[in-house]
Amino acid sequence: MTQQQQHHEEASAKGGSSSDIIERVKKDHEELDDYYKHYKKSLKDGDGEAALKWFNQFVWEICRHSVSEELVLYPMMETMGDRGKKLADKSREDHHKVKEMLAEMESMSDAKEMEPKMDKLMEELREHIKLEESEDLALVEKEVGLGARETAGATFALGKSIAPTRPHTMVPEKPVVVEAALGLLATPMDKLRDMFTSFPKA
Ligand SMILES: [Fe+2]
Ligand SMILES: [Fe+2]
């Protein structure tokens, strides 16, 4: 492990604040992919309850991740000229699509039943992630120095804390987490921003 990796590990272990926003976003992407794989594996093993737990974990993480990107990453890109604005708009559109797909699953309570929709959602999400990493984050890397990216990374982590790690409503037999997540995603951005600024600065 390099010193930088170790620093990163330590920082994430304590919910740290000094990591590059690029690394934080990528790490979330990996986690999302991981949760999806666990969901699929649980289904394959015939464990519907475990699958639903992984589904809930996935939904909540995608929600926290999206909110934070919309609060920190995309506004930052908007300061980077037309290209930044265009990419931010495209990413917000992608998020909107994913949110609609989540809404379609709101009334489902069986992990197996939601599998086709979940697969479709993941396909969509992987496309978005590919674009976000190769275009959005590449632009940020080109335009912003490491110091400022670390500050943005701290703000990104703080943005994620608007949504608690787990909603109280997370119970295995009912995917009410979708409802909670959609509720959060439906909160107007200016209201979220107000909540956000009432947090102590990291
Ligand atoms: Fe995104
Ligand atoms: Fe993302």
Q: Which residues surround ligand 2, an ion (CB under 5 A)?
A: 132
The domain containing residue 80 runs over which residues? 20-197
Proportion of the chain above pLDDT 90, given as a percent: 54
* Ligand 1 mean position, distance from CA 46 (Å): 31
Does position 11 have pLDDT exceeding 50, yes or no? no
Ligand located closest to 29 CA: 2
**Amino acid identity for residue 72 in this structure:** V
Task: Give residues with Cβ within 8 angstroms of 33, minimum separation 6.
Answer: 126
Count CB neighbours of 192 within 10 A: 19
* Ligand 1 mean position, distance from CA 154 (Å): 17
- Position with higher pLDDT, 3 vs 135: 135
Ligand located closest to 32 CA: 2
Kindly report the backbone phi and psi dihedral angles of residue 104, in degrees, each rounded to the nearest multiple of 5, phi listed first: -65, -25
3 in a structural domain: no
96 in a structural domain: yes
CA 158 to chain centre: 13
* Ligand 2 mean position, distance from CA 32 (Å): 9
Ligand located closest to 88 CA: 1
Tally of domains within the chain = 1
Contact 83, 63 (CB under 8 A): no
pLDDT tens figures, 80-128 = 999 999 999 999 999 999 988 988 888 788 889 999 999 999 999 999 9
Cα angle value 95/70/145 (rounded, 5°): 125
14 in a structural domain: no
The helix-helix angle for 176-186 and 81-104 (nearest 10°) equals 150
202 in a structural domain: no
Q: Collapsing DSSP states into helix, strand and coil, what is residue 171?
A: strand
* Ligand 1 mean position, distance from CA 94 (Å): 7
pLDDT tens figures, 152-187 = 999 898 888 776 655 544 444 445 566 777 777 777
142 in a structural domain: yes
Task: Give residues with Cβ within 8 angstroms of 85, minimum separation 6.
Answer: 77, 78
pLDDT tens figures, 32-68 = 999 999 999 999 999 998 998 899 889 889 988 998 9
Q: Which residues surround ligand 1, an ion (CB under 5 A)?
A: 69, 132
Count CB neighbours of 5 within 10 A: 10
